[in-house]
Amino acid sequence: MIYFDKVTKTYSNDPNGFALKDINFSIAHNEFVSIVGHSGAGKTTLLKLLLAEERPTEGKVFFESVNVNELHRNEVTKLRRRIGMIFQDFRLLPDKTVYENIAFAMEAAGRGDDEIAFDVPHVLELVDLTHKMWDFPGHLSGGEKQRVAIARAIVNQPDIIIADEPTGNLDPVNTYEIVQILKKINDIGTTVILTTHNKGIIDLLGKRVITMEGGRIIRDDASGKYVL
């Protein structure tokens, strides 16, 4: 479903010369892939390439046999609607309530009002935040914010969820909860890509692990442990 073909990414002002070098891997439907590595190993750059936020210097990135870097802007928008994003810093819209944050993703995808009114409470129930529906993000704890972000990511039933260090700002209890929710999402048939430094998460999951270092993939284990 996702295929990186000899991808290299260089930033002109990068002293090391490259952010990613000769990246080759593919991800199948319904996989749960963790990408681990130190800060600066290239995990975030990898995800940005997949979202067409950045273009590769060399090589190609495919999403279901479509080269994402040849997409027109409108098509990029459509691509992103098929990908649910979860970030370390949550990235909720601060001026919108929890309900509106989730509704926004549906509105952007062109869903009808009835559908939104039905789906948003439903997805909030999934992440156990029904009681915070009309609160603004500023009034939520870190764990709650991340659960809103997950709800927003899954509400459009994307083909794939990308979680970029989703537990980076959370305490162990919340981390555990978030991982359980991601696992549940994967169980219903959504592909999940997770980046993390958290050894505990990887060992808990027991799924495929791609290990990166200095912009290269150094390990790719089908049922990996966190080794660095």
Partner 1 sequence: MLWVNTKRIIRTGFLSFWRNGFVSLSSILVMTVTLFSIIAVIFTNVILESVLNDLKSKVDVNVYFIVNAGESDIMQMKGTLEKLAEVASVKYVSREQALAEFKDKHKDDYLTIQGLNELGDNPLGARLNIVAKDPSQYEGIVKMIEEKNALATPEASIIDKVNYQQNKVVIDRLSAIIVGAKQFGFLLALVMIIISVLITLNTIRLVIYMSREEINIMRLVGASNMYVRGPFIVGGMIYGVISAVLAMILFWPITLWLAGATTDFFGGVNLYHYYIQNFFQIFIIVLGAGMLLGAISSFLAVRKYLKI
Q: How far apart are CB 101 and partner 1 at their closest, in Å?
A: 9
71-100 footprint of partner 1 as x/- string (CB under 8 A): --xx--xx-xx---x-----xxxxx-----
Q: Which residue type does 132 have? A: K
- 116, 107 contact by CB (below 8 A): yes
Q: From the list 53, 115, 125, 187, which residue makes contact with partner 1 (rule: CB under 8 A)?
A: 53
Instruction: Give least dist CB 105 to partner 1, A.
Output: 5
What gap in Å lies between CA 206 and CA 199, rounded to an integer?
A: 11
Give residues 107-136 in contact with partner 1 (rule: CB under 8 A): 107-110, 112-113
| 97 Rama sector, left if φ>0, alpha if ψ -120 to 50, beta otherwise | beta
203 belongs to the binding site for partner 1 (CB under 8 A): no
Least Å distance, CB 208 to partner 1, is 25
**What is residue 2's three-state secondary structure?**
strand
**Distance in angstroms (rounded) separating the CA atoms of residues 192 and 175:** 16
Residues touching partner 1: how many (CB under 8 A)?
24
Give the nearest distance from C-beta 111 to partner 1 in angstroms.
Answer: 9
228, 213 in Cβ contact below 8 A?
yes
What is the token pair recorded at 113?
């009002």
Cβ contacts of 111 within 8 Å, gap of 6 or more? 119, 156
- Interacting residues with partner 1 between 130 and 169 (CB under 8 A): 152, 156
Residues in contact with partner 1 by the rule CB under 8 A: 51, 53, 73-74, 77-78, 80-81, 85, 91-95, 104-105, 107-110, 112-113, 152, 156
